[in-house]
Amino acid sequence: MTKDKPITQLNTDRFSRNISYLRVSVTDRCNLRCFYCVPEEGLPFLGHKDVLSYEEITAIVQAGVRHGIQKVRITGGEPLVRKGIEELVASISALPEIKDLAMTTNGVRLASMAHDLKKAGLHRVNVSLDSMKPEVFEKITGRNHCQEVKEGIEAALDAGLTPVKINVVAVAGVNDSEFADFAKLTMDKPVSVRFIEYMPIGKNMHWAEDRSISSREIREIIEKQLGPMTPVTEHGPLDGPARRFSLPGAQGEIGFINAISGHFCSTCNRLRLTADGKVRPCLFSDKEIDVRSVLRSGGGPSDLDAVFAQAIAQKPRGLDSAKSEKPGCDRSMSSIGG
Ligand code: SAM
């Protein structure tokens, strides 16, 4: 006789999703000023004491691990501007339950850090790059660092931080003329170029709906110039929400993240930890649980466990397409951790 399966596991939420992925923001600071991420008037930065220390982050990740977290992404703000980030990478990568340790970075400082990050135990990186033209890059980010980011991508490939994914936020009238050039990068390099739909995140942001381009439209633009793409059907342990395709003979892949046109709440397996120590069950809900005050008021492992249990229990079903609910939230991506 086979044993009955337990009805609930520690990391299964009310909607039968297994929560196994924690995105950890290590800072709200960034060395770029992308117009869709940081409001024009800037953001008040957190004080040094408001930001979780590496020891605190590690203790929280350990509690996550006890609740089934197996994948961690270090993000920000810009994670590579936080001093000693390799130290945090090393302590998380030392946890045997963590099967996938990734980082999302703007790549500006990556060229000189890629090998040390690999040595510290980082598995892979996603590099954000919305334009390969220095003047357009500067228009989007407010800074002239396009060349550094390109060098960062090369260094990541060289260091073996693979698969290297390049995240392109698609914005009509800004970078749509470069979609095919981005797709062509996959011909000669084993990179995964992922087009992300521009989302209305952050209450003070100038969200321009007419600047949003759906994944379907992006795909049409690429196929018009480069011919049909083939869906990638094999699944890997690192699969995320992207729908994946490839060009004939390409070394890499092209992915589409339909954050707006086809949100993926029903399969969402994520929790987020903000730099100021809030656990956020859903990007599109402003509900947060204050884990920093639990820690700083003397809380131990069982108190941290209770925070994860609460976050998993409170994870909302997500957006309801039947009611045409749209994604969005009050805090900007740079303060939540993208
Ligand atoms: N600084 C790092 C970077 O640039 O990758 C990590 C943080 S950043 C907030 C993470 C990702 O969120 C980037 O790929 C960025 O382009 C994306 N992002 C930020 N605001 C967004 C928005 N409104 N819509 C879609 N993507 C957004």
What's the pLDDT tens digit per position in 128-177? 999 999 999 999 999 999 999 999 999 999 999 999 999 999 999 999 99
Tell me: pLDDT of 41 over 70.
yes
Average pLDDT over residues 64-73: 97
The runs of H, that is alpha helices, within the chain are 54-66, 85-93, 110-120, 134-141, 146-159, 179-188, 215-226, 291-296, 301-313, 333-336
pLDDT at 329: 65
**Between these two residues, 316 and 262, which has the higher pLDDT value?**
316
Q: Going by CA atoms, what residue is nearest to atom 1 of ligand 1?
A: 78
Distance CA 241, CA 231 (A): 14
Q: Closest Cα to residue 78, out of 49, 103, 50, 47?
A: 103
Q: What is the mean pLDDT of residues 52-63?
A: 98
Q: Which residue has better confidence, 297 or 325?
A: 297
Q: pLDDT tier at 203 (50, 70, 90 boundaries)?
A: low
CA of 82 to the centre of ligand 1 (A): 17
Is pLDDT above 50 for 87? yes
Q: Is 167 in the pocket of ligand 1 (CB under 6 A)?
A: yes
Query: What pLDDT, on a 0 to 100 scale, did the predictor assign at position 238?
Result: 58
Query: Hey, which of 82, 104, 332 would you mutate to test ligand 1's pocket, going by the most ligand atoms within 8 Å of its Cβ?
Result: 104
Mean pLDDT (whole number) for 34-50: 87
Q: What pLDDT score does 210 carry? A: 76
pLDDT tens for each residue of 242-288 = 899 999 999 999 999 987 766 678 899 999 999 999 999 998 888 99
Average pLDDT, the chain: 90
Q: Which atom of ligand 1 is closest in space to residue 78's alpha carbon?
A: 1
166 lines ligand 1 (CB under 6 A): no
Best of 35, 78, 169 to mutate for ligand 1, by most ligand atoms within 8 A of CB?
A: 169
Q: Is the pLDDT of residue 6 over 50?
A: no
**pLDDT of 195:** 97
Q: CA distances (Å), 26 to each of 122, 183, 336, in order?
A: 15, 31, 10
Using the predicted structure, report yes or no on whether residue 294 has a pLDDT greater than 50.
yes
Q: Which two tokens stand for residue 294?
A: 């639990």
Our answer on whether the CB atom of 24 is closer than 6 Å to any ligand 1 atom is: no
CA-closest residue to ligand 1 atom 11: 338
Q: With 80 as the cut, is the pLDDT of residue 5 above it?
A: no
Average pLDDT over residues 111-127: 98
Atom 13 of ligand 1, nearest CA residue: 128
User: What is the chain's length?
Assistant: 338
Q: How far is the CA of 8 from the centre of ligand 1 (A)?
A: 34
In this predicted structure, what is the pLDDT of residue 180?
98
Average pLDDT over residues 41-55: 92
* CB atoms inside a 10 Å sphere around CB 70: 18
* Residues 127, 166 contacting (CB under 8 angstroms): yes
